Amino acid sequence: MADKGGLEGVVVARSRLCSIDGQKGVLIYGGYDVNDLAEHSTYEEVCFLILRGNLPTAPELDAFTRELAESRALSEETAQVVDMLADHAEPMEMLRTAVSSDSFDDPDKNSNAEDANFRKATRLIAKMPTIVARYDRRRHGLEPIESDPSLPHAANFLRMLSGEEPGQSAAKTFDVALILHADHEMNASTFTARVIASTLSDMHSAITGAIGALKGPLHGGANEQVMKLLEAIGSEDAVDAEIRARLDRKERIMGFGHRVYKTYDPRAVILKRFSRMLAAESSEPYWFSMSEKIEQAVIAEKGLYPNVDFYSASTYHYLGIETGLFTPIFAMSRVVGWAAHVIEQHSDNRLIRPSSEYVGPPPRPYVPIEARGQDAAA
Ligand code: ACO
């Protein structure tokens, strides 16, 4: 068994989807560098690439974009679940529950065939933003906003959330953020999805489990913790002392470090540019400048680099998104990666069933209930 546990360095699947060079800070989806995709593509194109293995031709992109836009509306049942949860459930609890319940009336729910899985993947990618936006509006006592089929995926979500069509820079920033979160090799939530799929369970079950794994603060939940860190530090002047104090107390600085990257996470580099750009247009430039100072302090003190969650926090904040929605937004994007991994797992499946090393008591005689605890009492 590996000394440190955590399956570090263990290869659990062969995948055509995504690769990472953690020493060089390179991330590739289906052969394309994420920098090129962020610059030239849209989230819709990247979804097609991840699901189908190639960037779409213009007619393919038109058809896929239309299919996504037509799939955005929620069924009455899913809408009711979201409304019921709006007052009580936290955002990730709501998303986990709503996505699970969305299988009830899915016409393909009993099929793991590739075609059925593609249809379910497309519907989930389309519906998750509607779920998140509807929940957020309901919990603020506002009416949900219908999707606008003429708007791209990213801009439509921002409009469904705020009621206003976003400007060009907000729409581009959000689209890039979705691209950057779309897939990431064998991360914890993707592994969860693949384990569930390997039992020949269905797409919705795998995505529901993956949402549960993403929720944790060591994984996708870190982006919300980063915003809380920025708010707690409060000013640029307080950064150095606060970071040192936290590290002295052996606390983790959220948004730093990564199992695979030993240098800059390329997604953080791209998001930093967007955060800087939005800061320059904002009346609150300090969220960015504070972030940059934290980055310098953590590199100097600990040699740890920012991961994707670090600059996504200030970026989303500048877009006017509440902190509690940061991780659901991560899930809204990552659903395409999870779904593609489920399809890949189903296409060449063997049950994922590792082993554990037993370190419990050696075999011992059964003790009847009347006799239990006598050793302790003696
Ligand atoms: N702050 C302070 N110290 C850290 C941090 C951090 N963010 N990350 C790692 N370390 C330290 C650990 O304390 C440990 O030190 P030690 O050897 O002195 O005990 C050492 O670095 C190695 O840490 P591990 O936990 O073994 O490394 P692992 O590969 O398991 O950790 C992880 C990866 C979980 C991402 C870690 O870096 C972390 O907790 N980061 C903060 C949470 C975070 O940002 N998560 C998002 C990751 S990206 C994503 O999931 C989308």
Distance, in Å, from the CA atom of 108 to the CA atom of 104, rounded to the nearest integer, reads 10
pLDDT at 1: 53
SS3 371: helix
Substitution candidate for ligand 1 out of 4, 187, 218, 230 with most atoms within 8 A of CB? 218
Q: Can you tell me which residue has the tokens 């950064």?
A: 239
Using CA atoms, how far apart are residues 198 and 349, in angstroms rounded to an integer?
6
In the annotation, is 204 catalytic? Answer: no
Q: How many CB atoms are closer than 10 A to CB 217?
A: 14
220 lines ligand 1 (CB under 6 A): yes
Tell me the whole-structure pTM to 2 decimals: 0.96
CA dihedral 31, 36, 42, 44 (to 10 degrees): 0
Report which residue type is found at 358. Y
Q: Is 308 in the pocket of ligand 1 (CB under 6 A)?
A: yes
Kindly report the backbone phi and psi dihedral angles of residue 110, in degrees, each rounded to the nearest multiple of 5, phi listed first. -95, 15
pLDDT at position 4: 81
Ligand 1 mean position, distance from CA 100 (Å): 30
Look at ligand 1, atom 49, and give the residue with the nearest C-alpha.
Answer: 219
Q: What is the pLDDT of residue 304?
A: 98
User: Among this protein's residues, is 88 annotated catalytic?
Assistant: no
| Spatial CA neighbour of 223 closest among 330, 144, 344 | 330
* Ligand 1 neighbourhood includes 252 CB (under 6 angstroms): yes
**C-alpha–C-alpha distance, residues 354 and 132, integer Å:** 35
Angle between helices 286-302 and 239-248 (to 10 degrees): 40
Measured from the CB, is residue 262 less than 6 Å from ligand 1? no
Digits of tens for pLDDT over the chain (378 positions)? 556 889 999 999 999 999 999 999 999 999 999 999 999 999 999 999 999 999 999 999 999 999 999 999 999 999 999 999 999 999 999 999 999 999 999 999 999 999 999 999 999 999 999 999 999 999 999 999 999 999 999 999 999 999 999 999 999 999 999 999 999 999 999 999 999 999 999 999 999 999 999 999 999 999 999 999 999 999 999 999 999 999 999 999 999 999 999 999 999 999 999 999 999 999 999 999 999 999 999 999 999 999 999 999 999 999 999 999 999 999 999 999 999 999 999 999 999 999 999 999 999 999 999 999 876 555
Supply the pLDDT for residue 374. Answer: 77
Which amino acid does the sequence have at 27? L
Angle at Cα 210 formed by Cα 128 and Cα 41, nearest 5°?
Answer: 55
Distance between the two ends of the chain, CA-based, in angstroms?
38
pLDDT at 375: 65
Q: In whole angstroms, how far apart are CA 66 and each of 43, 60, 129, 334, 360? A: 14, 10, 16, 20, 56
Nearest residue by C-alpha to atom 8 in ligand 1: 257
Instruction: Decide whether any atom of ligand 1 lies within 6 Å of the 181 Cβ.
Output: no
Best mutation site among 191, 247, 258, 329 for ligand 1, i.e. most ligand atoms within 8 A of its Cβ? 258
Token pair listed for 185:
């090799």
